[in-house]
Structures are given as C-alpha cells and as structure tokens.
Amino acid sequence: MTTEPHETTGSTERETLIEIYDDQRRNLLIAMRGLTEEAARTRSTSSQLTLGGLLKHVTLNEQGWITTITQADPEAVFDMEAAAHAYELTGDETFEQWQAEFAAQAERTNAFIREVPDLDAAIPLPKAPWDPEPGQQSVRRILLHMFRETAHHSGHADIIREELDGGNTTMTLAHDAGMTFGEG
C-alpha cells in the first residue's frame, strides 16, 4: 500500500489549522443554538459552568494566546485578577455580546494564523502560579493548545446543554445531516 505524502508547510498547513479550529468552534456553537439569555446563564450541573460563561472563556482564551504570541514578553505574568470572572457573564455582559465577540475573535485568529510569519517561532509563556518557570513554545504548539482548549470546553458545553433541555451535539449534527430518529 502506498500513500501520498501530505503537504504540511506553507499555506496548506495554515488553511488546515484554520479548518480544524473552525470545526472545533462550530461544535462549541452547536451547544449554544437557540439559547435565551437566561439559559446561557443557567447552571445545569453541579459545577459553576454555564454556556455563556464557557463562550466567554473560550473567546478570552483565544484573545489571550494571540496577545501572548504577538507581544512575546519574556517577563509576562498571567493576570489572575483578570481571570477571576473569565467563566461567567457578569451583570453588564450579555450572551449576545459574547456571541458577537466570539465570531469577531475567530476572524481575527484565522487572519493571524494566515499571516503570522513563522509557526516555529519560540514564544515565551507567561509565568503563572501553576508554572513559575514556563519556558517557551512554538506558535504552532500554542495554536494546537488553543484548539484543544476549545474542544475540551465543547464537551463541557454539550453536557451543560443536555442537562438544560436535552440538547445534544451529536444528535443535532445528525439532524442537520438529514437523519431522522423514531419518526415515520
């Protein structure tokens, strides 16, 4: 059996990275479909997580990592105070606002992936209480971490939504593809 080598450099790699990230974002957004402001703020499990809070966190995560890369500050320190409300919609924030910011950040991040000069550039990571000597990672590795973070929270979102009203990402994807269950 022979296989064709996959091109993994240049624009093909970057477009593949964007495609994978967009797919993770779409999966996250499936759990957000049709939510009211109240539902976006509702805790449906024993954790403090809400769908609106997860959307905010994932958006802030993208923003934070892009800033880490573009500012590349070896003296940077993770801002614990700014992160205190990263998982919750505060009183003056709305789910609609975070949906718009999530979409805008996705566009900015995708443009960044297309334009960043070197995916192998070593970026100093911010110091944090859990990692006081964090070292460096490549832009590519940071992007892969961002993808993993979004996928991780997509799973949380799916569970929260299922507990809220029975919504389920897998069944929604199947329905979107034209599959019917128990009908007919």
**Percent of the chain scored above 90 by pLDDT?**
81
Is the pLDDT at 145 greater than 70, yes or no?
A: yes
Q: Are 78 and 35 in contact (CB under 8 A)?
A: no
pLDDT at residue 11 tops 80: no
AA letter at 152: H
Please give the single-letter amino acid code of residue 144: L
For 34, the token pair is: 């049709």
For residue 168, pLDDT over 90 is answered with no
Phi-psi region of 7 (alpha: psi -120 to 50; beta: other; left: phi over 0): beta
Domains in the chain and their CATH numbers?
11-170 (1.20.120.450)
User: Which tokens go with 62?
Assistant: 């993208």
CA angle, 148 as apex, 155 and 109 as ends, to 5°? 110
DSSP strands (E only) in the chain: 122-124, 136-138
Tokens coding 141? 């590795």
**Residue range 124-148: mean pLDDT, rounded:** 95
The upper half-sphere exposure of residue 8, i.e. CA atoms within 13 Å in the direction of its Cβ, equals: 6
**pLDDT value for 4:** 43
Q: Which residues contact 52 (CB under 8 A, 6 or more apart)?
A: 35, 37, 40, 41, 88, 89, 95, 98
Provide the Cα torsion 44, 34, 60, 65; round to 10°: 110
The residues, ordered by sequence, that sit 6+ positions from 37 with a Cβ below 8 Å of its Cβ are 52, 94, 95, 96
3-state secondary structure 136-182: EEEHHHHHHHHHHHHHHHHHHHHHHHHHHHCCCHHHHHHHHCCCCCC
pLDDT in tens, 82-117: 889 999 999 899 999 999 999 999 999 999 999 999
